[in-house]
Amino acid sequence: MREAALSSPPTRLAGRGLERLAFPCALLAALALAPLLGLLGAERYVLNLFTRCMVFAIAAIGLDLVLGFGGLVSFGHAAFIGIGAYAAGMLAASGVGDAFASLGIALAASFLFALATGAVSLKTRGVHFIMITLAFGQMAYFVMSSLKAYGGDDGLSIDRRASLFGQDILADTLVFYYVVLAGLAGVYLLARAVVRSRFGRVLRGAKDNEMRMAAIGFDAYRVRLAAYCVSGMIAGLAGWLLAEQSEFVSPAFMTWQRSGDLIIMVMLGGMASFEGAIIGALILVLTEELLPGFSEHWRVVFGPFLVLVAIFARGGLVGLLAGRRDG
């Protein structure tokens, strides 16, 4: 009975095949060509801007795994970004400069924090889950703010980026850009594989009808906890990359406002769509960077835009584009 319940293809992902891959491939190809914009001037600025976009796209994909496919509104997800970033900063300050060692510890720390907090948070539902994830996120923020040895509220500067195979390969801005792009592609493929697997179908089934999944023998709590840990590790990866890119870490990386930004990215692009998470991150980061140059009141324009997307594009911008294409 359990096998029969999971044998049919999921509604959201069925029947597209290569057509489903065309759009994300085009999106990643466009990001691969984005450095060419630097030929028009300010090459370093362009590379840093789009690197930041991709870093937050990775974090948004991690959140979409539990928000879009699991129905879990986490309002403390920026804590994982901060944990990954501080792992890079603390290890650099302690003289650990190997990228693999630093990244491994960042992922392990993110996993352990997700496991500990998720085990408690997932005992709740709805607004209670939102508030308890917010509380854990703020706890992490205040802990990092109190660490005077690592800069406290002022943050911590990183002298140099981590070395790869004993070489300072990542110090080159263009090389680092493509490393982040490869990370984004890898995370996208991993997340896609997860949601298309039997595990992913159970996760979506628990979102739609937890009692039915329990009746056919699946433990929704354990599945959600596993998904939450994977999501936290992906956000931790984004935090590690953010620290390496900016060569600076700060408690500001893990504020509840940053968690809200991640939720906006997912909802703007389209929940349960990893391509949407990438687009949402691109739009929000580029908007925050470019619109203030036109007016300091840019949020007055961007706020109503979000409201219109929420009202008229329930599937986000990706859903709106897909609807027009199918029409």
Going by pLDDT thresholds of 50, 70 and 90, the confidence category of residue 14 is: very low
pLDDT above 60: residue 154: yes
The backbone region for 71, taken as left when phi is positive above 0, alpha when psi lies in -120 to 50, beta otherwise, is left
**Smallest Cα–Cα separation from 115: which of 15, 195, 209, 224?**
224
> Token digits for 3?
């096998």
Condensed to tens digits (0 to 9), the pLDDT of residues 219-277 reads 999 999 999 999 999 999 999 999 999 999 999 999 999 999 999 999 999 999 999 99
Write down the pLDDT at residue 15: 44
Q: What residue numbers bound the domain in which 212 lies?
A: 24-255
Kindly state whether residue 266 falls inside one of the protein's structural domains: no
Residue with tokens 């891959």: 21
pTM for this predicted structure: 0.92
Q: What is the tally of structural domains in the chain?
A: 1
> Token digits for 4?
């029969």
Kindly state whether residue 313 falls inside one of the protein's structural domains: no
Residue 248: its H or E element? strand 248-249
Kindly state whether residue 279 falls inside one of the protein's structural domains: no
**Residue 216 φ then ψ, to 5°:** -100, 10
pLDDT above 90: residue 302: no
Kindly state whether residue 192 falls inside one of the protein's structural domains: yes
Going by pLDDT thresholds of 50, 70 and 90, the confidence category of residue 290 is: confident
Kindly state whether residue 137 falls inside one of the protein's structural domains: yes
Kindly state whether residue 311 falls inside one of the protein's structural domains: no
Kindly state whether residue 165 falls inside one of the protein's structural domains: yes
Residue with tokens 């392990």: 108
Distance CA 244, CA 158 (A): 8
Kindly state whether residue 323 falls inside one of the protein's structural domains: no
Going by pLDDT thresholds of 50, 70 and 90, the confidence category of residue 324 is: low
